[in-house]
């Protein structure tokens, strides 16, 4: 890609794993729903909830906004935090029903980010996932895997610091942002335990000439 450390890591991850083509979803709205559901739970649980929502015709703005809260709780229970997630999904849908998803997603990146952050249940990571993967705008998503991997190659910082670093050191490209985040997650899940985190990435960089 280029010469910086972050670019070399990207090249290594892409070579080892190949493109991931995130986010797995049929529609932009499904990305938003998945982004809330996947918080602190495994994706397999989210898939179950999503298929249940689809079976009940709730994977669309208006129907989800008007859904019965007890039915929602039942459908998303497999994702944990079901009381919070059910009401937050409904609140999110109500917001998009009011303002229109097209209208909202056409806002400039930073304004869209702030708007998403104003929703209950949407913090930094979820907001950025929505901006990048649902609205298709350039925002780099930081998560626990990213923080851990950066720490292991000698880079520490809070969410906004790490995000700023990524956004200034790699090309500002939506597809690269999408792939990079996905690659970090998949690499971490595949090769790195909770403790010995990403020690291996340093070895890989050296041994493979990145």
Partner DNA sequence: CACCAGGTTGACC
Partner DNA sequence: GGTCAACATGGT
With binding defined as CB under 7 A, does residue 158 bind DNA? Answer: yes
Q: Tell me the DSSP string of 20-70.
A: ------SSHHHHHHHHHHTTTS-HHHHHHHHHHHHHTT-SSHHHHHT--HH
Q: In this complex, which beta carbon is closest to DNA, that of residue 51 or of residue 208?
A: 51
Size of residue set near DNA by CB under 7 A: 38
Structure tokens at 28: 């932009």
In angstroms, what is the minimal distance from the CB of 14 to DNA? 17
Q: In this complex, which beta carbon is closest to DNA, that of residue 159 or of residue 210?
A: 159
With binding defined as CB under 7 A, does residue 63 bind DNA? Answer: no
Q: In this complex, which beta carbon is closest to DNA, that of residue 8 or of residue 73?
A: 73
Q: In this complex, which beta carbon is closest to DNA, that of residue 77 or of residue 151?
A: 77
In angstroms, what is the minimal distance from the CB of 31 to DNA? 8
| Contact with DNA (CB under 7 A) among 19, 57, 123, 136 | 123
Stretch that binds DNA, among 3-11, 63-71, 95-103, 118-126 (CB under 7 A): 118-126
With binding defined as CB under 7 A, does residue 163 bind DNA? Answer: no
Binding to DNA (CB under 7 A) within 19-48 occurs at 22-24, 34-35, 38-45
Q: In this complex, which beta carbon is closest to DNA, that of residue 106 or of residue 158?
A: 158
Is-cis flag, bond preceding 102, omega within 30?
no
Report in angstroms the alpha-carbon separations of 94 from 4, 13, 99, 194: 43, 39, 9, 37
Q: In this complex, which beta carbon is closest to DNA, that of residue 4 or of residue 55?
A: 55
| Contact with DNA (CB under 7 A) among 84, 107, 153, 191 | 84
b/e 92-112 (16+ beta carbons within 10 angstroms → b): bbbbbbeeebeebbebeeeeb
Beta strand segments in 12-151, E: none
What is the spatial distance between Cα 139 and Cα 82, in angstroms, rounded to a whole number? Answer: 28
Structure tokens at 209: 């000439």
Handedness of CA 55, 69, 87, 101 (dihedral sign): positive
With beta carbons less than 8 A apart as the criterion, state whether 83 and 73 touch. Answer: yes
Q: In the complex, which residues of this chain contact DNA (CB under 7 A)?
A: 22-24, 34-35, 38-45, 77-78, 80-84, 119-127, 129, 133, 143-145, 158, 185, 189, 194
């Amino acid at each position: 890609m280029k010469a910086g450390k972050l670019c070399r890591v990207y090249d290594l991850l892409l070579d080892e794993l190949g493109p991931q083509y995130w986010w797995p979803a049929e529609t932009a709205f499904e990305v938003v729903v998945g982004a809330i559901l996947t918080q602190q739970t495994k994706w397999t649980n989210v898939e179950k909830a999503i298929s249940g929502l689809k079976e009940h015709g709730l994977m669309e703005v208006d129907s989800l906004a008007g859904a019965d809260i007890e039915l929602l709780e039942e459908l998303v229970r497999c994702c944990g935090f079901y009381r919070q997630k059910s009401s937050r999904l409904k609140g999110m849908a109500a917001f998009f029903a009011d303002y229109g998803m097209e209208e909202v997603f056409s806002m400039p990146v930073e304004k869209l980010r702030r708007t998403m952050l104003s929703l209950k249940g949407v913090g930094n990571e979820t907001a950025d996932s929505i901006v990048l993967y649902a609205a298709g705008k350039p925002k780099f998503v930081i998560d626990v895997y990213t923080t851990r991997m950066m720490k292991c190659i000698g880079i520490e910082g809070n969410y906004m610091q790490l995000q700023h670093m990524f956004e200034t050191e790699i090309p500002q490209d939506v597809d690269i942002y999408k792939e990079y985040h996905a690659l970090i997650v998949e690499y971490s899940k595949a090769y790195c335990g909770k403790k010995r985190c990403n020690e291996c990435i340093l070895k890989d960089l050296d041994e493979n000439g990145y």
